[in-house]
Amino acid sequence: MNKAELVEDVRNTLGNDTTKAAAERAVDAVLEGIKRGVKKDQSVQLVGFGTFGVASRAARMGINPRTKEQISIKASKTVKFKPGAAFKAMA
């Protein structure tokens, strides 16, 4: 499912009186809220769905696939998602 399909699903869930633009604004608002929450609090927990959180990646050595020479990869942060039990059970 891509974003356009998600917007259409949200529109159908909210009912026929909801416009596509309103459904898209709702989806965008949820995504922005998750982004702000992860940035501010380092974690966003949606009970029954899962948790978005920040994880640290240690510095490491890698290999340039083109030249096969070793390169140093800096430490970084990334966003991880851990599905909740109810969400896991659906899959």
pLDDT (tens digit per residue) in 64-81: 999 999 999 999 999 999
28 inside domain: yes
- Considering the domain boundaries, does residue 47 fall inside one? no
Q: What are phi and psi of 12, to 5 degrees?
A: -65, -35
Q: What is the pLDDT of residue 16?
A: 82
Please check whether residues 85 and 66 belong to one and the same domain: yes
Contact 38, 53 (CB under 8 A): yes
Residues 61 and 28 grouped into a single domain: no
Q: What is the pTM of this model?
A: 0.78
4/91: higher pLDDT: 4
pLDDT band at 91 (very low <50, low <70, confident <90, very high): confident
**In a shared domain, residues 57 and 86:** yes
Tens digits of residue pLDDT in 6-59: 999 999 999 989 999 999 999 999 999 999 999 998 899 999 899 999 999 999
- Domain membership of residue 12 (yes or no) is yes
In a domain, 70, yes or no: yes
**What's the rounded Cα separation, in Å, for the pair 56 and 24?**
32
Domain coverage including residue 63: 52-91
Instruction: Please check whether residues 91 and 57 belong to one and the same domain.
Output: yes
How many structural domains is the chain composed of? 2
